[in-house]
Structure 1
């Protein structure tokens, strides 16, 4: 148990260091963007006095390194400052948006994870069959297609031609759970198509790699049914790479939804990021990027811990 805690502690410490480096990159890359923030807020007709007053109010008269540490200390307490456009708290603006993004990601994950693992096991059992070849072609097509392209295809057929689901995922607090599922089905399906394809191929590769192991051959020689070989012998030893794939795809579901939310006008954090970039609302841009980075690092840490717990060789490296 102590070895596991030390390994987890090392992963957590490394994740915090990486997040600190990413915070530096985010802050100073925004600082390097051309243009004057105060000028962008007040417009071209603003006087020098007004510009100077706004710069002082926003802290722009301080050195960049001082503003970075002020921003970092605020971020540690989830205080990302105020929006330049609306003047509201950034945390309040993106908090509700991030909750909606988590709902969309969970909606897609509940469908994608069991379907992908099941299909991966089935195509591994039917390796080199027609079903396996067709599945590989279809999944490779989905992986190679941009999310916005898949989204527009789904809108064309499911919304425009067949009228089954709305093309725009406009939601509000007064909706029932079933109405919410219906409104968000198309963006969730777009994410599912990409995630299932990737997870299925990785699950198939992990299972096929294990099928060549000596203990699998011994189980077959004993007359064990093929499904039992997969479920009782191959799948438990394939959990480590599968968990890694699931965690990375869950990270994608949360951090890679920007294009999907824009296509379906879904009011998530990705849409908030795009709106903030177009309006040069840099506090929201910085907060969204930092949240995306922290989420990705956290899920990678969860993948490492899951791999350690499911693989005895990692639990006992000696």
Structure 2
């Protein structure tokens, strides 16, 4: 079962790589003509296309790109041929992972805690208030939440409105500089994880073995933490993995709003410069992160459920 899911994940990544490479090929215009300008002659356009390998068939260029990507080499930047795409991505990828990890460190414990307490005090004022706050957070898009936080916390001088991270900055200052974008992502993803945690636990509370635990005198908190929560790992792991994937792939808007030097800002800048090589590389990294995290959630769900691990 686990091997089948891993094989399916690899096939999904292969299909996504074809879609990414093909989609960029369908973009209107010609990169060589865009670089040389309208005054370029057909000879110069043909020369730069040969230099960049754009005159080769689609499958030849795709295979060369995929082979290099599997080795961590995405080729040279089309907008700046002197720079390798891997070098441009390196530091920014680390910045995006840092921001995603920062947001996850706040969002996951907060969501699990609120979900457990909401299930423990079901239909109470706390439960209704948390659900109302979660629905409100889900309803607002990321850029709106970001601008509200900038207005409330940035303009007051508590936190910087632009999350610039100079080289060699200390960890404490880095956490302070990136707090607003991390808080924006936290508010967006916490609601989904909290509601799924609450729903999974409430669904298990109706099980016969939970009633038996209550009859034995186990406290309500003990019923949830010792009996309900371990059996709710599968659905909770799925929603946590999906939201972790979103933290990596959905940072584009947040990074642009806060001018954060991550992959999201890089792909936006590369699209405006028609740097297709960088766009393809970043899109493939985002897709791989999303697929691998969802694959990890499937594996955890399978391993945590004996009925899935040993089907009859």
Q: Establish whether residue 26 from structure 1 lines up as the match of residue 20 from structure 2.
A: yes
Cα distance, 1:52 vs structure 2? 1.2
Gaps of 5+ in 1: 1-6
1:43-70: CA deviation from partner (whole Å, max 9, x where unpaired)? 2222222211100011111111211111
Structure 2 equivalent of residue 4 of structure 1 = none
TM-score (normalizing by structure 2): 0.98
Distance 2:161 2:175 in 1: 13
Note if 1:256 corresponds to 2:258: no
- Is 2:47 the partner of 1:53? yes
CA distance in 1, matches of 2:311, 2:105: 34
Q: Is the 8 A contact 1:41 1:84 kept in 2?
A: no
1:271 equivalent in structure 2: 265
2:37 is the alignment partner of 1:43 = yes
Separation in structure 2 between the aligned mates of residue 316 and residue 17 of structure 1, nearest angstrom: 24
Who is 1:235 aligned against? 229
1:77-111 Cα deviation digits (max 9, x unpaired): 11111111122101110121111100000001111
- Counterpart CA distance in 2 for 1:314 and 1:8 is 10
2:93 corresponds to: 98
After TM superposition, the structure 1 = structure 2 runs for residues 168-183 of structure 1, keeping only pairs within 5 Å, are 168-183=162-177
Per-residue CA deviation, residues 251-300 of structure 1 (Å, 9 max, x unaligned), is 01001100000000000001101011111100001111111111111111
Question: 2:218, 2:67 → 1: CA distance?
Answer: 60
Q: Does 1:158 align with 2:153?
A: yes
Q: Segments of 4+ in structure 1 off by > 4 A?
A: none
What's the TM-score once normalised by structure 1's chain length?
0.96
Structure 2 runs not aligned, ≥5 long: none
Alignment of 1:119-134 (within 5 A): 119-134=114-129
Q: Distance in 2 between matches of 1:132 and 1:42?
A: 61
The offset of 1:163, in angstroms, is 1.1
State the 1:316 CA deviation: 1.7
